[in-house]
Amino acid sequence: MALQMRSEMRRLRDELRYEPTAARIRAESSGRILVDSRRAVLVWEARGYIPVYAVPPADIAAEIVPADVTAHEPRSAFGRRHGPGQDFTLRAPGFELPEAAFRPDDPELSEYLLLDYSAFDRWWEDEEAVEGHPRDPFHRVDARLGSQRVRVEYDGVVLAESASPVFVYETMIPVRTYFQRSDVNMTLLEPSDRQTICPYKGRASYWSVRGAGSKGQNVAWSYENPLPDSGQIKELIAFYDERTDVLRDEPG
> Per-residue pLDDT tens for 17-44?
999 999 999 999 999 999 999 999 999 9
pLDDT over 70 (residue 79): no
User: What is the predicted pLDDT for the residue at 8?
Assistant: 84
User: What is the predicted pLDDT for the residue at 13?
Assistant: 84
40 φ/ψ sector (left φ>0, alpha ψ -120 to 50, else beta):
beta
pLDDT over 50 (residue 72): no
Contacts for 228 with CB less than 8 Å, ≥ 6 apart: none
pTM for the model: 0.87
pLDDT over 50 (residue 71): no
**How many other CB atoms are there within 10 angstroms of residue 214's CB atom?**
7
Q: How confident is the model at residue 70 (pLDDT cuts 50, 70, 90)?
A: low
CA 90 to the chain's CA centroid? 25
Q: What is the pLDDT of residues 195-215, one digit of tens each?
A: 999 999 999 999 999 999 889
Q: What is the pLDDT of residues 150-197, one digit of tens each?
A: 999 999 999 999 999 999 999 989 999 999 999 999 999 999 999 999
In this structure, is the dihedral angle defined by the CA atoms of residues 196, 198, 204 and 207, taken in order, positive or negative?
A: negative
* Contact yes or no for 71/30 (Cβ under 8 A): no
Q: How confident is the model at residue 94 (pLDDT cuts 50, 70, 90)?
A: confident
Report the mean per-residue pLDDT for the chain: 92
Contacts for 18 with CB less than 8 Å, ≥ 6 apart: 41, 42, 43, 44, 54, 108, 109
Strands (E) located in 78-234? 79-80, 85-92, 95-104, 113-115, 122-125, 128-129, 141-145, 150-154, 157-162, 166-170, 173-179, 189-198, 202-209, 220-222
In this structure, is the dihedral angle defined by the CA atoms of residues 99, 102, 105 and 111, taken in order, positive or negative?
A: negative
Output the CA–CA distances (angstroms, integers) from residue 68 to 29, 63, 84, 87, 216, in the order listed: 21, 15, 15, 8, 45
The burial of 64, by beta-carbon neighbours within 10 Å (0-12 exposed, 13-18 middle, 19 or more buried), is given as middle
User: What is the predicted pLDDT for the residue at 205?
Assistant: 98
Backbone angles phi, psi at 86, to 5 degrees: -130, 135
* b/e 147-184 (16+ beta carbons within 10 angstroms → b): eeebbbebeeeebbbbeebbbbebeeeeebbbbeeebb
pLDDT over 50 (residue 115): yes
Q: Is 112 helix (H, G, I), strand (E, B) or coil?
A: coil
User: What is the predicted pLDDT for the residue at 112?
Assistant: 97
pLDDT over 80 (residue 78): no
Give the residue among 188, 183, 182, 228 at the shortest CA–CA distance from 208.
188
Which helix (H) or strand (E) segment is 7 a member of?
helix 5-12
User: What is the predicted pLDDT for the residue at 34?
Assistant: 96
Output the CA–CA distances (angstroms, integers) from residue 158 to 150, 155, 167, 184, in the order listed: 11, 9, 19, 9
Q: How confident is the model at residue 74 (pLDDT cuts 50, 70, 90)?
A: very low
- Please, what are the domains in the chain? 5-129 (2.170.150.40), 141-248 (2.170.150.40)
The burial of 88, by beta-carbon neighbours within 10 Å (0-12 exposed, 13-18 middle, 19 or more buried), is given as buried
